[in-house]
Structure 1
Amino acid sequence: MTTLTLHDLNKVDCLRFLFDGAFNSGNGIEPELAPFFDALEKYAGGWMPTFVKTSRMRKYSRDAVWRAIEERRDDYGSSIGLFRSENPGVSLALTLGLTQEDPDLRAKLSVQPLSFFSEEKACLGIVATARAWASRYPAHHASAHSSADRQLTDSPAFGRDDATWKRDGFDKIYELFWLNIFGPKLVESVGRERMLTTPAHLVEELPNGSVLLVLRPTAADFDSEEARVAQARAHVHLRPDLDFDTVLSTLRERSAALAPVEPRFHPDVAPFLSRLPDEFSLSERQRKIAELNAFRPPVPEEWLPVAHPSDVENPEHVLESYGDLSEGLVAVLHTDVPSIMEETPESLTDLDFHFWKTHFPERYTRDVLDGHTIPALGAFLGDVLVRRLGGTWVLRQKMEESQVRVGKRIWLPFLRARRYMQSRQSLLEYSLTQFFHEAERYRP
């Protein structure tokens, strides 16, 4: 059984349901939580979690939940995770705050992919669950929406500084999501009659005075023109101080930012660049793909038309020292980059990605980079040219001048390594992947 990590949830869009309700544990945790799981089991359907995880994994059952809560309980409360590894993937983080003045129950539910909610039938389960939870555990505000689009709203700050939003919370209707729960205080601040006459797919008053509002029958088409118009119309109804055209324009801009962009990366660096988009948030990804599509690395200049003759007296000794450098790089990085042990073109791409992802040139001092990393990387790069392209070392006393002959060109791996390791941007402009592919064109 596998769990959805934060990285997994960032691969494709998901429905994110955030719920924070009141929790009274005076009669015991199990009786108080029973309605929560009653609703989950009754309405989840195809997105029901299948196992519970703390320090160990258990198949989902009420008993597994109670045991997990006790295992994770401390002076402040308890937190457990419920997951589903089958499609759709599910991550449900449940946190019980038991010691504060107002004990609460916080649930963060993610169901991936968002396309699972393209049909109204699937969405009804989320709506019914939200209704049941909000009726039993009164919430000031809760919502379910596309994770990517939520990121573009700057939720939960909505443009405020940290101190302000942490103090005030969701004190007015900053944003409308696909599904919304407004507590009695929020309802009264808007006006109950105005709230209940909101133009939306569903507006329902709950027994405790909260209001459940669902904009559209389905969640997955939130970025369609029809959905954006409905969202804007409902928002300005609840916030008469807002301008409809301005709100709609902002929503359209968000839809445009999320519109899929087809990757068209430069072929020499495509193996490397294709890994980068997943490292950006869902809300940024399409813009980054467009930027990477436009990126054109400079043509490699680390070569000579004619070799400088070797000026070393003991080539075997020099090659042995290069081998030690290369092996040292492998020893340091083989856990993070297992393919480095194979000295293949793929291992160069893996190194490119590792150095970029970890901000490697900015994490270490120039003394470390110049004295250790760059020489080792140059030796490793040269060895890959020798092993995979039939190259031949032409050794020089000054390491940076040492060359590898591939066909009719003479390549300078140590010089490339030095340019490469100057900054995070230089990892893109002087990638090992591109250098190899350029040299490959001259293989005899």
Structure 2
Amino acid sequence: MKRLKFSDLNEEDRLRLDFEGSFDQQAELEHELEPLLQALEENADEWMPDVVEGQRQRKYSRASIWKSLEEKRDEKNTDIVFGRTTWPALYMMLDLRFPPLPPQLRLSLKVQPLSFFAEAERCLKLVEMVRAWASRYPVTHASAHSLADRGLADSPLFGRDMETSIRDGFDKIYEVFWLNVFGPRLVETVGRERMLSTPAHRVEELPNGSVLLVTWPTAADFASDAARLAQARAHAHLRPDLDFSTLLRTLRERSATLAPVEPRFHPDVAPLLSRVVDDRALHERQRLISELNHYQPPEPDEWLPASAALPSDVADPQRALGLYGELAEHLVALLHTQVPSVFDETPQSLTEVDYQFWHQDFPTVFERHHIDAHAVPAIGAYLGQVLVRHLGGQWIPRKKLEESQVLVGHRVWLPFVRAWRYMRSRQSLLDSSLTQLYRVAERHRL
């Protein structure tokens, strides 16, 4: 029974729901959470959690929930995670705070893929679940929307610094999402009559004075022009100080930013660039793909014609080969935790190494003298070993590492020179990648 984790899946847009309310801290916890769990079980259907995690993972049941909450509880709070073992993937965290902290019930929910909520009936059941929660637990603010589009909206900062965001929260209408619940204080700030007259798919006053607002029947097509028009109309109505045309233009620009772009990366570095894209936040990826489609890495020039190769000048070639192997093992020791494939010394492991150094921003983060003295020799030796192992290369040892060569076909390659250039900056990790040099050497080996 293994919970599906987003980190194990190809990441794509998700539905994100955030609910922030309060509960009766003096009441028995099981009684207080009964309405929340009942609404979840009645409406989740195909995305219903089947596992609960406290200190350990258990099959979903009320007993498992109470046990998990108990074992995670400390003086001030408790939290548990709900998930699924089958598609669609779910991550849901319930966080409760106790005295002396103010009473707070916070729930964050993500379901991948967002396309799962393309059906109106499934979206309606989600809305009914949130309605039940907001009717039972005094709510400050709740919303559900595309995770990627929330990123473009700069949620939850909305242009503020972190300290201000934490202090003020959602104290005015910064954004209108697909699904919204506005607490009584926010409703009164806007004006109850204005709030209830908002042009939207659904507007409903809840018994506790909160207002539920849904802009469009389905969540998955939030980026369609019709849905954006509805979103802009609702936002402009609730914030008459904002210009409708500007709001609509901004929403359309966000839709264009999220529109899928077909990757057309340079073939020598395509596997590496794909990893670079995956490292970015969802809302930034399509723009980055478009930029990288135009990226042309410089042609490697760390080579000589075989006829111009420098002859070996070492007294003991076997000892020199042993040194190269030891240096390569230094790279294995450095990266084996983050890059298990580094043990294999394969072309694929070169790409994994490239990505890891880029991900860490290694040339900037670590001290330059350590990089040049230790990392560069290890990287150069590792690159040379892969050329030898997979392209039938042959080391031509030299006393100076930077002069050491690997003969492949009619060229000799200078792996230590490549490694030195590679470690100059984060950009040079792409411009002088190990992946690209190997691919070029592979093409010229015959």
Residue in structure 1 matched with residue 283 of structure 2 by the alignment: 283
Work out whether residues 309 and 394 of structure 1, in 8 Å CA contact, stay in contact via their aligned partners in 2. Answer: yes
Alignment of 1:1-12 (within 5 A): 1-5=1-5, 7=7, 11-12=11-12
After TM superposition, the structure 1 = structure 2 runs for residues 45-84 of structure 1, keeping only pairs within 5 Å, are 45-84=45-84
The question of whether the paired residues in 1 share the 8 Å contact of 2:6 and 2:89 is answered with no
Alpha-carbon offset, residue 6 of structure 1: 6.1
- Equivalents in 2 of 1:409, 1:276: separation in Å? 30
Deviation string, structure 1 residues 131-171 (Cα, Å, up to 9, x no partner):
00000001121101001101111111211223332222212
Residue 235 of structure 1 is matched in structure 2 by: 235
Question: Aligned residue for 2:152?
Answer: 152
Aligned mates of 1:193, 1:430 — CA distance in 2? 62
Distance 1:199 1:10 in 2: 37
Name the SS for the 2:111 alignment partner: strand
| Equivalent residue number for residue 435 of structure 2 | 433
For residues 211-270 of structure 1, give each alpha carbon's deviation from its aligned partner in whole angstroms, at most 9, with x where no partner exists.
100011100000000000011111111111111100000001111111111111000001
Q: Conserved in 1, the CA contact under 8 Å of 2:202 and 2:213?
A: yes
Range that drifts further, 10-19 or 411-420 = 10-19
Residue 405 (1) aligns with residue 407 (2): yes
Cα displacement (A) at 1:342: 2.1
**Residue matched to 1:258:** 258
Q: For residues 350 and 102 of structure 2, what CA distance do their matches in structure 1 show?
A: 54
For the Cα contact (< 8 Å) 2:3–2:51, is it kept in 1? no
Give the match for residue 335 of structure 2.
333
Q: Identify the residue that residue 175 of structure 1 maps to in structure 2.
A: 175
Q: CA deviation at 1:386?
A: 1.4
The alpha-carbon deviation at position 100 of structure 1 amounts to 3.9
Does the C-alpha gap of structure 1 residues 156 and 227 become closer, same or farther in structure 2, counting only changes over 3 Å? same
Q: Deviations over 1:105-141 (max 9, x none)?
A: 0000111110000010110121011100000001121
Equivalent residues of 1:302, 1:412 under 8 A apart: yes
State the SS of the aligned residue for 2:293.
Answer: helix
Match of 2:122 in 1: 122
**Residue deviations 1:260-285 (CA, integer Å, cap 9, x gap):** 11111000001211112111101111
Q: Are 1:303 and 2:299 matched, yes or no? A: no
What corresponds to 1:380 in structure 2? 382
1:390 maps onto 2:402 in alignment: no
Instruction: Provide, for residues 387-415 of structure 1, a one-character-per-residue CA deviation record: whole Å limited to 9, x for no partner.
Output: 11111112211110011111111110010
The separation in 1 between residues aligned to 2:26 and 2:55, in whole angstroms, is: 27
Distance 1:238 1:10, change over 3 A: farther
Q: Residue by residue, what CA displacement relative to the aligned partner does 1:54-75 show, whole Å, maximum 9, x if unpaired? A: 2211000001000000000001
Matches of 1:117 and 1:72, distance apart in 2: 32
- The structure 2 residue matched to 1:355, chosen from 344, 354, 357, is 357
Paired residues in the alignment total 444
1:419 aligns with 2:421: yes
2:9 and 2:30 map into 1 onto residues whose CA distance is 30
Give the structure 1 partner of residue 189 of structure 2.
Answer: 189
Quote the Cα distance in structure 1 between the aligned partners of 2:277 and 2:3: 22
**What SS does structure 2 have at the residue aligned with 1:220?**
coil
Match of 1:93 in 2: 93
SS at match of 2:208: coil
Q: CA deviation at 1:333?
A: 2.4
Give how far 1:336 is off.
2.4
| 3-state DSSP of counterpart to 1:274 | helix
Question: How far apart, CA to CA, are the structure 2 residues paired with 1:327 and 1:227?
Answer: 56
Q: Distance in 2 between matches of 1:86 and 1:389?
A: 42
3-state SS, counterpart of residue 99 of structure 1: coil
Q: 2 CA distance for matches of 1:246 and 1:10?
A: 34
CA deviations 1:6-42 (Å, max 9, x no partner) are: 6468811111110011111212111111111011111
> Which whole-Å CA distance do the structure 1 matches of 2:143 and 2:63 have between them?
29
Unpaired runs of 5+ residues, structure 1, are none
SS at match of 1:2: coil
Q: Distance in 2 between matches of 1:11 and 1:248?
A: 28
SS of match in other structure, 1:142: strand
Question: What is the alpha-carbon distance in structure 1 between the residues aligned to residue 161 and residue 378 of structure 2?
Answer: 45
Residues 17 and 173 (structure 1), Cα distance of their counterparts in 2 relative to 1, 3 Å cut: same
Amino acid at match of 1:388: H
Once the two structures are TM-superposed, the CA of residue 299 in structure 1 deviates from its matched residue by 0.2
Does the aligned pair in 2 maintain the 1:13–1:112 contact within 8 Å? yes
CA contact (8 A) 1:10 1:282 kept: no
CA contact (8 A) 1:9 1:112 kept: no
2-side partners of 1:364 and 1:157: how far apart? 31
What does residue 292 of structure 1 align with? 292
Question: Counterparts of 2:5 and 2:154 in 1: how far apart (Å)?
Answer: 22
Tell me by how many angstroms 1:341 deviates.
Answer: 2.0
Give TM-score, length-normalised by structure 2.
0.97
Aligned residue in 1 for 2:30: 30
Is 1:104 matched up with 2:104? yes
CA separation in 2, counterparts of 1:181 and 1:271? 43
* Cα separation, 1, equivalents of 2:353 and 2:339: 7
Aligned to 2:137: 137
* Structure 2 equivalent of residue 165 of structure 1: 165
Letter in 2 for 1:34: E
Equivalent-residue separation in structure 1 for 2:395 and 2:101 (angstroms):
72
Distance 1:247 1:7 in 2: 34
Structure 1's consecutive aligned runs of 4 or more residues displaced over 3 angstroms after TM superposition are 1-10
SS of the residue aligned with 2:93? strand
1:224, 1:255 within 8 Å by CA — same for their partners in 2? Answer: yes
TM-score by length of 1: 0.97
Cα offset, 1:5, TM superposition = 4.5
Most deviating of 40-49 and 339-348: 339-348
Cα distance in 1 for residues equivalent to 2:204 and 2:123: 16
Shift of 1:367: 2.2
Q: CA RMSD in A?
A: 1.4
Structure 2 SS opposite 1:133: helix
- Deviation of 1:101 after TM superposition, in Å, equals 5.0
Q: Is the 2:380–2:417 Cα contact (8 Å) retained in structure 1?
A: yes
